[in-house]
Each structure stands twice: as structure tokens, then as C-alpha cells.
């Protein structure tokens, strides 16, 4: 049952390890830092921490260029540090989810060094190599997600290798059975160390068109967009052969109790839901990023929820994400007042929420001076606002130097308001977004209706979205005002009566809920309705 499955009833908390806590004085977060801050996660009430890549890496793309899939980069610590972190997380009742990056390795990985050594090397086919086009140049028109051609010529062997991202990130060939089994063994390596699941990076990229056909032009492309948008990626990603690969990963995890497989998928809903796989043999949770990209209007959000709920396969469990390490933070998109409403939305919709570190503080986008930019995408395509650094800045813990994150200047700048927007300052403040987030998590844990109950729409206007969560005779209603002006809506007769559990604003209205429900500007209310007679 859903309430007995931790990844259905629980809340996932994403940690970008470079930015959570530094303990060795190099300005970069580490595993020991995460271990020392586990009590914050337990206090907050989340159920699992997901850690972005910590493998050995040249760091051409912040660790998403993996040089060894079965070790820890010294920047973050050691395997012993990792084992200690897993053990202490489990002691606190926290699960640990590891990032898995199977689409590409680092060009410095031993596998790739062998692969590029000669055309006859046994590992040549572990990567994607092709001859030049008949007239010379790259084999096709595929574009790197970070700009420029997705093909790099290797002078020594006279062929091009494919890389969906940086040239330092050659794509692995998942059509090769030996490569596939080596990656499955990597999953087993970490599962044996106690990892509770994996978030699989760019899972929809793993299988490409075997004929390597050109991608067609994107008719919706306009100058100023990232170069990757110039073409429709119909041959370089989301190939139907992917489902067999994911089923293979799922089979590995199914050999261990209570594990979860999460897939990173930036696709429309109708494609996203196919990644649950035939008969739910795919990812347990194909990541749903739709809230990141939808317009922040009540009717648009209600329509999104309705479409998603309607297209889920039978038995498929929903999930929701507001922010992550690749996208602007929710407070940067909708403002501080609406970030509080967004927290109520995230933590009361049906399905598993993922909370990005710092969003419990309402962390804003942080200005990154040109000379401190770290993101390779921003360096490759400067000036069009695609840099991801503003969402990866250090966690502010207190008012001590460098916000308690490090004893030295951090690798990225702190948020400008860190003296007041930090965990210590907000933890005991009744009106803070941190307190609100913790209270919402506690309510979600206490009430089965919020944790695993049914979702039912109530009403939507241009400004207000109201929905019901119910389990048995327990009913909780969320009413969200997505504007700064007061709004009044009229509730159906059967949803009148009850009391407010929490408001996103400081003071909770004391009046019973009647037919006319008035919401203050930027207010969300969570209302426990009168229990229905049996």
C-alpha cells in the first residue's frame, strides 16, 4: 500500500554537494558536511536525501563528467566517508538516493581512453563512434545541449565521437551488451553499500536512433534561445528502445528491498508518463518538472494537474518538483510571497514532492559576477541567461563568517541577504518560510489524506486554485491565491464547515470556513473540513 512505501509517502530533499557544507576549508561542500547537517533534514521532516554526483571527476561539468563510477572524488571525501554518511542517515530514518550518470562518462574515464586508443580496441564500441559524413565533417547535424556540434573528431583514429553535452563527456553506447552489464554492476556496487535508490541523469537520452538520421529544424526556434533549440531532438533522444534499458535497471533494483528508481526526463506529459514502462516496469518516478515551466497562473496550474493526473498509467505514482540544480529557483521565478504559496502547493498535491536545498529558506537567485562563473554552459553560450550557477550557491546556515558554510570564501557567492536568510535566523521565527515548510511537512506526515490520499479538484478562477485531498472520512482542502490581491470564492455546500490548519501568512484566520472563503493577497490556506458522517 502507498502509505507503506517510503518513496510514495515521503519527501525527497535534493542536495548539491558542492554547496551544502564545507568541513575541510577549501570552499567546497563535502560528504562530511552533509553528515554534520543530517540533523537539519531530520528536524525539517524530510524522508530521503538525494545527492548530486560525488564520483571522481575532472569537474568539466560539476561532476556530471564521471571518471570512475565506483569511487568518491577526493574533493568530497572517500568511500569510508560515504559509508559513514549512509549509516548515520539510516540511523535517523533517512533514505539516501545517489545520482547515477549513465548517458556519458568523462573523456578521462579509463573506458574512453581505451575506446579511443584504436578502432580495434575491445571497448571501442562502448562509445558512439562514426565515420565523417561523405563530404567530410560531422556524421549528422546533431547539436550539443551546451552549444556547438555534438560530434568531436579524433585525429588518431579518423572518426568522430558523439557527446550530447561537452566534448569532455562522450556518450556511452547502451546498445553494447557488455557496457550495459558493466553499468548494471555499478548499480549493484552502490546498492550493496546501502544506497536506497538512484536518480538517473538524462535518462531519456540513453538510446539514440541507430541510423543516426539528422534532426529536423524546430519551427518554433527564435534567435536568442539556446542553440539546442534550433532542432527537434527526435532522433538523438527519447528513442523507443529506451524502455528495455530502463526495465533492465529496474530489474537490478528489484533484486533489493525497498529501492527506488527515479528518472530525469524533460519531456511533455504524454511522453513523460511512458517512462513508467509497460506494466510499470520502468522508473518508479519519472521526474515531473512541469511546475518549473508552467506559467504561474491558477488556471494553468489546475490544467496541468488535471492533465497529469489524467494521463498517469493505472498504478503510476505521481511526483512534483519546483526547483533543481539546473533550473531557476522557485523564489526567483515567482517572488518571495508566492514562494510560500508554492511550498503549500508542492507539499499538498498528490504524489512524492522533491524539495531543493535552500528552497525551505526561500533562497533567491544569486548574482554571479562574470569572473566567478563556473557553469560550462554559460561559458559556451554567454549573454542569453542560461547559467545554472545562481541556483547552486552555498547554503546559508547562520550569521557567522561565510554564513557558516565554510571557513574560507565559498566556491560561488552567497545570497546577498544571508545575514537574515539563513537557517539559524529563520528556524525559530514563527512567520518564516522555513517554519511554514516544516509545519506543512509535519501536517503531511500526520494526515493520510495529504500523504497518500485522493486528489479532487474543487474550483479554479483566474486567481485561485482550490482542491481536495481525502482518505476515508478525512478531508483536507487547499485554497491557493496566486495573486497579490484579496480574493473571495464560494465553496460548494458539501465543503463548508471546518477550520484552518495553516496559512502561508503569519496569522491564521480563526473563523470557521463558510460558503464564502476570502483569501488575503499571496495567501494559501490548508483547511481541515468537518468529517463526513459514515
DSSP state letter for 204 = G
> Which of 22, 65, 201, 375 is an active site residue?
201
Distance from C-alpha of 323 to C-alpha of 321, rounded to nearest angstrom: 6
Residues contacting residue 90 through CB under 8 Å, at least 6 positions apart: 96, 194
Q: Which residue, chain included where needed, has cell 529557483?
A: 329
Which whole-number Å values give the CA distances from 330 to 322, 385, 421, 473, in the listed order? 6, 16, 15, 34
409 is catalytic: no
Which whole-number Å values give the CA distances from 299 to 37, 90, 464, in the listed order? 39, 41, 8
Which whole-number Å values give the CA distances from 358 to 23, 86, 384, in the listed order? 19, 22, 25
Count CB neighbours of 413 within 10 A: 17
Contact by Cβ (8 Å): 399, 425: yes
Distance from C-alpha of 451 to C-alpha of 465, rounded to nearest angstrom: 19
Comparing CA positions, the residue from 7, 9, 85, 21 lying closest to residue 410 is 21
Distance from C-alpha of 65 to C-alpha of 71, rounded to nearest angstrom: 13
Q: Strands of 264-384 (E only): list them.
A: 285-286, 319-321, 352-356
Comparing CA positions, the residue from 327, 442, 420 lying closest to residue 377 is 327
Pure H helices in 142-227:
177-192
> What are the φ/ψ torsions at residue 310 (nearest 5 degrees)?
-75, -25
Contact by Cβ (8 Å): 168, 61: yes
Based on its alpha-carbon atoms, the radius of gyration of the chain, rounded to whole angstroms, reads 24
Contact by Cβ (8 Å): 463, 302: no
The three cell numbers locating residue 387: 547559467
Contact by Cβ (8 Å): 59, 65: yes
Contact by Cβ (8 Å): 294, 301: yes
DSSP three-state, residue 115: helix
Distance from C-alpha of 368 to C-alpha of 351, rounded to nearest angstrom: 34
264 is catalytic: yes
Q: Return the percent helix, strand and coil in the chain, to nearest 5.
A: 30, 20, 50
Distance from C-alpha of 477 to C-alpha of 322, rounded to nearest angstrom: 21
> What are the φ/ψ torsions at residue 294 (nearest 5 degrees)?
-75, 155
> Which of 65, 238, 264, 463 is an active site residue?
264
> What are the φ/ψ torsions at residue 238 (nearest 5 degrees)?
55, 40
Contact by Cβ (8 Å): 265, 449: no
Residues classed as catalytic: 201, 264
Amino acid at each position: 500500500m502507498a502509505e507503506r512505501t517510503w518513496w510514495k509517502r515521503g519527501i525527497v530533499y535534493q542536495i548539491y554537494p558542492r554547496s551544502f557544507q564545507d568541513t575541510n576549508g577549501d570552499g567546497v561542500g563535502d560528504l562530511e558536511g552533509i553528515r554534520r547537517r543530517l540533523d537539519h533534514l531530520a528536524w525539517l521532516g524530510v524522508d530521503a536525501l538525494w545527492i548530486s554526483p560525488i564520483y571522481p571527476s575532472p569537474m568539466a561539468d560539476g561532476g556530471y563528467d564521471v571518471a570512475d563510477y565506483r569511487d568518491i572524488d577526493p574533493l568530497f571525501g572517500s568511500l569510508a566517508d560515504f559509508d559513514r554518511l549512509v549509516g548515520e542517515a539510516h540511523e535517523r530514518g533517512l533514505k539516501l538516493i545517489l545520482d547515477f550518470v549513465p548517458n556519458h562518462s568523462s573523456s578521462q574515464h579509463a573506458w574512453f581512453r581505451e575506446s579511443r586508443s584504436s578502432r580495434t580496441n575491445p571497448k571501442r564500441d562502448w562509445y558512439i563512434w562514426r565515420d565523417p559524413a561523405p563530404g567530410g565533417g560531422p556524421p549528422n547535424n546533431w547539436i550539443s545541449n551546451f552549444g556547438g556540434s555534438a560530434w568531436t573528431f579524433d585525429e588518431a583514429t579518423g572518426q568522430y565521437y558523439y557527446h550530447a553535452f561537452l566534448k569532455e563527456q562522450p556518450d556511452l553506447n547502451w546498445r553494447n551488451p557488455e557496457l550495459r552489464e558493466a553499468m548494471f554492476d555499478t548499480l549493484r556496487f552502490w546498492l550493496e553499500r546501502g544506497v536506497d535508490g538512484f536518480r538517473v541523469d538524462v535518462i531519456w537520452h540513453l538510446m539514440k536512433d541507430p541510423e543516426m538520421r539528422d534532426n529536423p529544424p524546430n519551427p518554433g526556434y527564435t534567435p536568442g534561445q539556446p542553440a539546442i533549440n534550433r532542432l527537434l531532438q527526435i532522433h538523438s533522444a527519447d528513442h523507443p528502445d529506451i524502455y528495455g534499458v530502463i526495465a533492465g535497471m529496474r530489474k537490478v533494483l528489484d533484486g533489493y528491498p525497498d529501492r527506488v528508481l527515479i528518472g530525469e526526463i524533460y519531456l511533455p506529459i504524454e511522453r513523460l508518463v511512458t517512462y513508467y514502462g509497460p506494466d510499470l516496469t520502468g522508473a518508479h518516478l519519472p521526474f515531473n518538472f512541469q511546475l518549473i515551466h508552467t506559467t504561474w497562473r491558477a488556471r494553468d496550474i489546475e490544467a496541468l494537474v488535471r492533465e497529469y493526473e489524467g494521463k498517469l498509467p493505472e498504478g503510476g505514482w505521481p511526483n512534483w518538483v519546483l526547483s533543481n540544480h539546473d533550473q531557476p529557483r522557485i523564489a526567483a521565478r515567482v517572488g518571495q510571497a508566492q514562494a510560500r504559496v508554492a511550498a503549500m502547493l508542492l507539499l499538498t498535491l498528490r504524489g512524492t514532492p522533491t524539495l531543493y536545498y535552500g528552497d525551505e529558506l526561500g533562497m533567491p537567485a544569486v548574482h554571479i559576477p562574470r569572473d566567478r562563473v563556473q557553469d560550462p554552459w554559460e561559458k559556451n553560450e554567454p549573454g542569453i541567461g542560461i547559467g545554472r550557477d545562481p541556483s547552486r550557491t552555498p547554503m546559508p546556515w547562520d550569521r557567522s563568517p561565510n554564513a557558516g558554510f565554510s571557513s574560507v570564501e565559498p566556491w560561488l557567492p552567497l545570497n546577498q541577504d544571508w545575514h537574515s536568510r539563513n537557517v539559524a535566523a529563520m528556524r525559530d521565527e514563527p512567520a518564516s518560510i522555513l517554519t511554514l515548510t516544516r509545519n506543512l511537512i509535519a501536517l503531511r506526515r500526520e494526515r493520510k489524506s495529504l500523504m497518500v490520499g485522493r486528489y479532487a479538484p474543487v474550483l479554479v478562477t483566474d486567481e485561485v486554485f482550490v482542491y481536495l485531498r481525502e482518505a476515508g472520512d478525512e478531508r483536507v482542502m487547499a485554497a491557493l491565491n496566486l495573486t497579490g490581491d484579496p480574493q473571495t470564492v464560494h465553496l460548494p455546500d458539501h465543503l463548508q464547515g471546518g477550520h484552518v490548519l495553516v496559512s502561508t501568512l503569519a496569522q491564521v484566520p480563526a473563523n470557521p470556513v463558510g460558503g464564502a472563503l476570502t483569501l488575503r493577497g499571496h495567501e494559501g490556506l490548508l483547511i481541515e473540513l468537518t468529517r463526513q458522517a459514515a
